[in-house]
Amino acid sequence: MNRSWKLGAALALMVILTNGMFGQTDATLYSFTGLTDGGNPLASLVMDTAGNLYGTTFVGGAFGDGEVFKLSPDGNGGWMQTVIYSFSGADGANPYYSDVIFDQAGNLYGTTVSGGAHNGGVVFELSPTNNGWTETVLYSFAGEPDGQNPYSGLIFDAKGNLYGTTYGGGSSNQLGTVYQLKRAGTGWKENVLYKFDGTTGTAPVGGLVMDARGNLYGTTQGGGAHRVGVVFTLRHSNGVWTEQILHSFSGGADGGYPYAERLILDKAGNLYGTTQGGGINNYGVVFRLSLTNSGWREKVLHSFDGTVESNPYSGLVMDAEGNLYGTCANGNGVTTVGSVYKLTRNGDSYSESDLHLFTRGDGEFPESGLLRDSAGNLYGTTLQGGTANMGVVFEVSK
């Protein structure tokens, strides 16, 4: 779970690539030290109406178990970091791909992959007060039958219910769940909506997306017909949720092992996502799923070749023109250690361009998805790199 293979030393960089060749500008907004300010951020960011950024780190903080942080413009062109909460174990530990989300009152919600009453992870709420932020554990996972180790973050429905996935737990096979948290009096009640059984998927790492009808969509890292992951939907009728596999990856040209934080839906109901493996060169793909008269059909929009970038772990963001933006967690292992890329739409085809290639000093292993602001600037995090090699928050601007 700690990805020790990624936290080892990277290969020496032999060539320094400049930002100007991509027509974009990359800026490191903050470099983590791994101490009280946190380290190894894995999740994407969220921005409030004042332009402040919020995120999580896997380690560090006051107790070493990770934190929730805030980055604020300092008025002089720089950014100031504030730790708004440090986890200590019983209240949660080690937020993984858990991007925090706001409710309408300004409270933040997220998950930790471990810690809590049973060390199976928690769902938490952070509420702002005059004396800082106060944490409330909304739910502690126990493993069976409620699930354990929520890797990803949460989504709300229109009624304020929360939805997420757990990597394990649920049944005796420990293959993961989709769950709902619903307000019950002064607390919250957890309902397991679905338990994966292997053939229907296993180990959902990514989060969920909900359509206008309240149906849920997500991915699993494993399981399915070829044991390399699926795209699934959960549809509800009269309080009953039913799973349907929309696509079962083969690990070949169509991709395999989707890790994406969450899928995205366009206005036509098409789903877009990434896989870390598979593709023509086995370095991962960007895909689209479209509903046809004969069911859901997958189209690979881009297959990475490993020349300068490989293995997209995260999901995508889309602009008004239908262009897609994402990150690759790895580079070629010699001159690059991750990327920010763009897929430009031209009719029904897409052309890929590199907006930024990381070279360790400015970040390494961007596993998170991107946040895109109204001006088109992109924000994200890297697991490692930066001045202390404990990860950074970065901006790629036009």
- What integer pLDDT is reported at residue 260 of this predicted model? 80
Task: Find the Cα–Cα–Cα–Cα dihedral 262, 266, 269, 272, rounded to 10°.
Answer: -40
Q: Are 327 and 312 in contact (CB under 8 A)?
A: yes
Residue 3 has a pLDDT of 45
pLDDT band at 23 (very low <50, low <70, confident <90, very high): low
Separation between Cα atoms, residue 121 and residue 180, nearest integer Å: 15
State in words which class domain 25-397 has.
mainly beta
Residue 289 C-alpha from the chain's centroid: 19
Per DSSP, the chain holds a count of helices (H) and strands (E) of 0, 28
CA atoms within 13 A on the CB side of 321: 10
Contact 263, 288 (CB under 8 A): no
Place of tokens 């939907």: 233
Average pLDDT, whole number, for the chain? Answer: 93
Report pTM: 0.93
Q: What pLDDT was estimated at residue 15?
A: 34
> What was the pLDDT predicted at 26?
86
Range 202-207 average pLDDT: 96
The answer on pLDDT for 98 being more than 50 is: yes
Which of 4-8, 138-142, 152-156, 237-241 bottoms out in mean pLDDT, i.e. has the lowest? Answer: 4-8
Question: What value does the mean pLDDT take over residues 134-158?
Answer: 97
The DSSP symbol for 31 reads E
Q: What is the pLDDT of residues 264-313, one digit of tens each?
A: 999 999 999 999 999 999 999 999 999 999 999 999 999 999 999 999 99
Interval 119-131 mean pLDDT: 97
DSSP letter at 13? P
pLDDT by residue (tens digit) across 212-255? 999 999 999 999 999 999 999 999 988 889 999 999 999 999 99
Q: 253 — alpha (psi -120 to 50), left (phi > 0) or beta?
A: alpha
The CA-based angle 389-108-149, given to 5 degrees, is: 65
Of 170-174, 207-211, 343-347, 354-358, the poorest mean pLDDT is in 170-174
pLDDT at 9 (0 to 100): 34
3-class DSSP state for residue 20? helix
Domain segments of the chain as ranges: 25-397
Please indicate whether residue 149 or residue 12 has the higher confidence score (pLDDT).
149
